[in-house]
Structure 1
Amino acid sequence: MAVLRTLICLASIGMFMELAMAANYTVGGANGGWDTSTDLQSWVAAQTFAVGDNLVFQYTPNHDVLEVTKADHDSCQAGNPLQTYTNGNTVIPLTTQGKQYFICGTLGHCNQGMQIEIDTLATSTPPATSPVSPPPETSPSPANAPESAPGSPLSPDVPSEGAPIGVSPSSPPPPPPSSAIKNSFGTCFTLGLALC
């Protein structure tokens, strides 16, 4: 039961760590934004983006956000965008590894620096957890085994009083019911993994 609880808690911690590692990046940072006065290239160079992160574009109605191809990014061509955003508060999830290109489609704004190239890295994969196995059961060797009379409580072929037929006192306990697993997970989750 303790091993199972530990495994469940470790899995829960790993899941929460992955969620906690995702970040929101407001384009331009705290002292700038998606505008012509922010040095967007320096801002991008200071960031590391990973799958699961979000780009947050905040801008006024005279701007927009266009996701474009590399060629359109490099030449500031807004005529054939892959995606167009105009709501003033655009959140773009970074869902795939690789490069994405964004420009402002307002005439002249891309040439004034409103263009960014985002290189999204793969999320770091947590190492696989090896299954925890219980310590091997030790049984006395025949030379050191206590002698017992057939039918006595120490006899390996006769169950002790109250034990089910076919189960000796040294048999491992049956696996916990699935409700015990759920309760263990619920306890870890509810108490913020404090009991894990």
Structure 2
Amino acid sequence: MEALRLGWGVRVIIVMVITAIFFRCVTATNHSVGGASGWDLNSNILTWSAATTFQVDDYLVFNYLPVHDVLEVNRTDFSSCRTVNPISTHSDGKTVIRLDQPGSRYFICGRLQYCLMGLKLQVQVLQRLSEANNSTPIGANQSERLSPRHPPHSSPPFPHHPPPRSPPPLQLPPLPDRPEAPSPCICSGVGEMMMASGPMTWCLVLLFIMLATRPCFHSLIP
């Protein structure tokens, strides 16, 4: 089982490498220097280079006769057509040079006075668009990390005062339960009054009753 996993891992890596190489080969462009006329005085090298875009991993293809050669030089030697101590020299009739990094590169013809006659090429190599989009500028990240992020200015909040609380209602202590006094009896009161008044009062009462009931007694006596 472990050997099977290892085999699949190797296959995946191989496929990825082949795909990357194929992708680079497909996206890279071969630029025939000078167009159909090649590396020659009959070609307008300046006009051709101005109308061509060079990117990383593209190739320059120099096609030329034996009377010419290709020298890669620095900027100073390019301006003065100086052929001493070039960066590289090519004279095989068909030279292919890979543009492996962004920046400026300079090429001249070192035979006779062809460089002074205009047989020279300056190439401005640009970063490939897909790689430029994926790459993140380091300086921008550093400045973003170093610069503190200030929050937007906002006015201070108004102080919050809680509403005044009403005092709790006054609670009076409950009144003690008082036993209800029984209502006084009228009869007992009358009896007590009569007992306190003495025999004279009794006599007057009986006399009053007799006078009040006198007609009744006359009607009963034949």
TM > 0.5 fold call:
yes
| Aligned positions, number | 120
Distance 1:42 1:112 in 2: 15
Residue among 122, 125, 134 paired with 1:120: 125
Higher relative contact order (CA 8 A, sep 6+): 1
- Judge which range, 118-127 or 32-41, deviates more: 118-127
Say whether 1:37 aligns with 2:42: yes
Q: CA deviation at 1:14?
A: 7.6
Distance 2:87 2:99 in 1: 15
Q: CA deviation at 1:19?
A: 3.0
Say whether 1:100 aligns with 2:74: no
Q: Which residue of 1 aligns with 2:198?
A: none
Greater share of residues in helix:
2
Given that residues 35 and 43 in structure 2 are in contact (C-alpha distance below 8 angstroms), is that contact kept between their aligned partners in structure 1?
no
Distance 1:12 1:88 in 2: 33
Given that residues 81 and 115 in structure 2 are in contact (C-alpha distance below 8 angstroms), is that contact kept between their aligned partners in structure 1?
yes
Q: CA deviation at 1:17?
A: 4.2
Counterpart amino acid of 1:103? I
Q: Which residue of 1 aligns with 2:30?
A: 24
Structure 1 residue matching 2:130: 3-state secondary structure:
coil
Distance 1:34 1:105 in 2: 12
Structure 1 runs not aligned, ≥5 long: 1-7, 129-196
Distance 1:12 1:34 in 2: 35
Q: Rg: which structure is higher?
A: 2
Could you list the structure 1 runs, at least 4 aligned residues long, displaced by more than 4 angstroms after superposition: 11-14
Residue among 51, 56, 70 paired with 1:51: 56
Given that residues 104 and 123 in structure 2 are in contact (C-alpha distance below 8 angstroms), is that contact kept between their aligned partners in structure 1?
yes
Residue deviations 1:113-158 (CA, integer Å, cap 9, x gap): 1001001111223667xxxxxxxxxxxxxxxxxxxxxxxxxxxxxx
Q: CA deviation at 1:12?
A: 8.8
TM-score, normalization by structure 2:
0.49
CA RMSD of aligned residues (A): 2.5
Q: CA deviation at 1:79?
A: 1.2
Q: CA deviation at 1:18?
A: 4.0
Identity %: 43
Distance 1:27 1:105 in 2: 16
Q: CA deviation at 1:37?
A: 1.5
1:1-196 to 2 correspondence within 5 Å? 15=20, 16-30=22-36, 32-125=37-130
Distance 1:67 1:18 in 2: 25
Structure 1 residue matching 2:124: 3-state secondary structure:
strand
Counterpart amino acid of 2:83? A
Structure 1 residue matching 2:106: 3-state secondary structure:
strand
TM-score, normalization by structure 1:
0.56
Q: CA deviation at 1:101?
A: 0.1
Q: CA deviation at 1:33?
A: 1.2
Counterpart amino acid of 1:106? R
